[in-house]
Amino acid sequence: MKLALVGDIGGTNARLALWHDQQLESVRVLATADYPGPEAAIRAYLDELGLPPGAVDSVCLACAGPVGGDLFRFTNNHWRISRTAFCRELQVRELLLVNDFTAMALGMTRLRDDETRVVCEGEAEAGRPCVVIGPGTGLGVGSLLALADGRWLALPGEGGHVDLPIGSPREAELWQQLYRQLGHVRAEDVLSGGGLLTLYQAICALDGHEPHLASPAEVTAAALAGDTVALAVIEQFCCWLGRAAGNNVLSLGARGGVYIVGGVVPRFAELFLASGFARCLRDKGCMSEYFDGIPVWLVTAEYPGLMGAGVALQQAFEHGQV
């Protein structure tokens, strides 16, 4: 493989790196708000490394949103990309676009032992799919399956936009409050960085608290400092994440395990590990025992989506797809 570039582009940040000898090199994180589009961000990145146009032969970008056709509009930022115009402007031979959670799922195949924490003990069943789910700017959901030829198949989807599950009378009351605020209530409306603040506001409105926190970061900081309302927000967040993850396990038959990813949960990892997540994951009535022995991990790796973009590009090269 000639010199290649990989990117993991979310709503807030664009993570870029060179892909060389199946490893990431020269990782940089750029704010999407600072650039009019991906071409400008990549030009700035290459300029910093002293690489001229045409130095990179192939590019794989993991993008938040459904990927298909020549024109792609990013879900959670102002960027858009035309494959044809991108290749012409940057003098790139091949551009591979993959869904961001396809890349995130593929990134799970390269995790080191020190890049995960065990949430639920268990043994992954060979030949069964895994669920990869993670709150970040939005809620990403993907799945991963090992193929017989040694490749990995990651199935993209838009599972963050499913309806928020309700599993208790308290959650039904919260859902009604959220519905009054939002109308249709998606899982992503709560299970995301911004969703922490939305959930905080809903709990304050329902329980008669005067809201004094104004950002997701403030909610997290207050919870870590012992604020009782903020702690209730984190607990409910974790419980709803468990219900959403459990729904995906049942839908996919995902006895290969569950990976909790994204930038939100690691910020309150100890609270998450002590929360009702595991209880709500398996709170499925007559199907609760299905979850016995299914392992769950919290992923703490710094750039799993970026690594997954490299894996996607590597597999495409090895099987003649680019």
Binding-site residue set: 7-12
Find all residues with CB under 8 Å of 210, minimum gap 6, and list them: 204
Separation in Å, CA 240 to CA 45, 217, 310: 38, 19, 32
Find all residues with CB under 8 Å of 109, minimum gap 6, and list them: 144, 152, 308, 311
Binding-site residue set for ATP: 7-12
Rounded CA separation 312/308 (Å): 6
Question: Are the C-beta atoms of residues 104 and 70 closer than 8 Å to each other?
Answer: no
Rounded CA separation 222/213 (Å): 8
Rounded CA separation 162/156 (Å): 14
